[in-house]
Amino acid sequence: MKDARIIKLAKNLVNYSTSIKRGENVLVDVHGDGIELAKEIVKEVYRAGGVPFISLNDHEMQRIIYSQCTVKQMKEMAEVELIRMKKMDSYIGIRAARNTGELGDVPADKMKIYMKNYSDPVTEERINNTKWVVLRYPNHAMAQLSGMATEKFEDFYFKVCNMDYKKMSKAMDKLVDAMEKTDRVRIRGKGTDLSFSIKGMPAIKCDGTMNIPDGEVFSAPIRESVNGVLQYNTPSEYQGFKYENIRFVFKNGKIVEAASNDNERLNKVLDTDEGARFIGEFSLGVNPYIEKPMMDTLFDEKIAGSIHFTPGRAYEECNNGNKSAIHWDLVCIQRPEYGGGEIWFDDTLVRKEGLFVVENLKCLNPENLK
């Protein structure tokens, strides 16, 4: 008997997240595990009148390819993939690595070649010109990262991914309005005192139509307006390496000091290109079911009471002019058990200790979204 939770998720992805219409081309892109979900998505795309395409990717093979790749090779691979991507109306990406460290020993210069010449142009085409949604799929590796038994993690996963995103979307409208009226943002917390402007920048709600799980409202700082210090308190796996205790010092928008458990490796990432040392996204996480980090960005960036402040490329729909081959969502949780913190919009305290304190935003606190 098929897991009804998988069928429900497939229906939500096709009919809500990407709203597939008759005749639309849909690329279902699987990285690692997730074939059972992919099968149900393909069936649901057909029911909606769409035309499914499938791509199956293996991380062990990708490691071999990337470890000796050349600029010419990556550019030609991108040209081929862009032909297909430009024919797609929608994209559903399933990410379920069997080993999150599989790419960890790929040389940094080779990862840079891959990111700049293949990943960046293909991702940009997908983000800007298709209806898209990206999600993880529960497997043993994800359960291990979360510190849960596999069965318990699966229960958590489907509770998060099949939540009522329409209810969340309605509540987010008030935060969108508040952010779009704000000039100065100040973030304070343990090891953190940061200020920047979001004046004139749009606020975008992420309500299950781009990522699953979802639950954030994002904007972008005016590129050169960021000043101060930000201490992240959530580990982040990036290009196969686990970074911890990342701390940035900003001056006129640029990261001028960067420290972590591996300063050299961190600074190499930030030296990918000029835009890698500037911020492309500022976001508040509000998913009521995600409470602790699990070393997976799609979950961690939605943690209730968190922010993420992202070095690298800005999104087209909230473009502060920053361009980069990277987009690295780094998370700081502000609930009391993680050191607390405050967010101010101009002269108003908006969120304290991870909870909204302004009356019309309390609808986004966990007890009101569950």
Tally of helices (H runs) and strands (E runs) in the chain: 12, 20
Q: Domain containing 110 — which CATH number?
A: 3.40.1830.10
**Are residues 27 and 54 part of one domain?**
yes
For residues 256 and 194, is the Cβ–Cβ distance under 8 A?
no
For residues 302 and 216, is the Cβ–Cβ distance under 8 A?
yes
Looking at the structure of the chain, the number of domains it has is: 2
Kindly report the number of other CB atoms within 10 A of residue 107's CB atom.
Answer: 12
User: 117, 49, 55, 116: which is closest to 85 by C-alpha?
Assistant: 55
**Are residues 323 and 283 part of one domain?**
yes
**Are residues 147 and 189 part of one domain?**
no
Q: Which residues make Cβ contacts (< 8 Å) with residue 252, sequence separation at least 6?
A: 224, 225, 226, 227
Domain carrying residue 233:
165-369
For 4-55, the pLDDT digits (tens) are 999 999 999 999 999 999 999 999 999 999 999 999 999 999 999 999 999 9
For 124-162, the pLDDT digits (tens) are 999 989 999 999 899 998 888 888 899 999 999 999 999
Cis peptide, bond prior to residue 213, ω within 30 of zero? yes
**Are residues 186 and 147 part of one domain?**
no
For residues 4 and 40, is the Cβ–Cβ distance under 8 A?
no
52 vs 45: CA distance, rounded Å? 6
**Are residues 193 and 67 part of one domain?**
no
**Are residues 234 and 180 part of one domain?**
yes
User: 287, 292, 307, 290: which is closest to 351 by C-alpha?
Assistant: 307
What's the rounded mean pLDDT across residues 242-269?
97
Mean pLDDT, the chain, integer: 95
- Looking at 127, 161, 195, the residue that finishes a domain is 161
Is 329 a residue whose pLDDT tops 90? yes
Dihedral sign of CA atoms 241, 247, 253, 257 in order:
negative
- Looking at 135, 161, 187, the residue that finishes a domain is 161
**Are residues 284 and 323 part of one domain?**
yes
Distances in Å between the alpha carbon of 24 and those of 18, 27, 52, 91, 364? 11, 10, 8, 11, 34
- Looking at 128, 161, 194, the residue that finishes a domain is 161
**Are residues 113 and 14 part of one domain?**
yes
**Are residues 86 and 176 part of one domain?**
no
Confidence of residue 97 (pLDDT cuts 50, 70, 90): confident
